Amino acid sequence: MIKYDIEFYSKQNGEEPAREFILKIDEKMQAKILRIIDLLEANGPQLRLPYSESLKKTAKTPRREIELAKKYREDYERRLCDE
């Protein structure tokens, strides 16, 4: 069975926003997220619903969060191409 590597995005200054977020939330939610990360590691892109939706609490993702995620993705892709 293939085991996928899970990498946390890190900014150029070394900060890891996702890891930092996970460490700030309550233990119950941390456990839920870490379980889904384990499932993602085992299943990779084949991981489907309901796991991909089980962490979502709000009806709509705030626009600023979407923009921040896009910014992080662009930075990651730019730095990946520079390697």
What pLDDT does residue 80 have?
Answer: 83
On the CB side of 57, how many CA atoms lie within 13 Å of its CA? 3
Global pTM reads: 0.67
What pLDDT score was predicted for residue 56?
57
CB atoms within 10 A of CB 33: 16
CA trace torsion 62, 10, 31, 4 (10° rounding): 110
Report pLDDT for 55. Answer: 58
Where are the domains positioned within the chain? 17-82
Q: For the segment 1-59, what is each residue's pLDDT rounded down to a tens digit?
A: 788 998 899 999 999 999 999 999 999 989 989 998 999 899 888 887 776 565 556 56
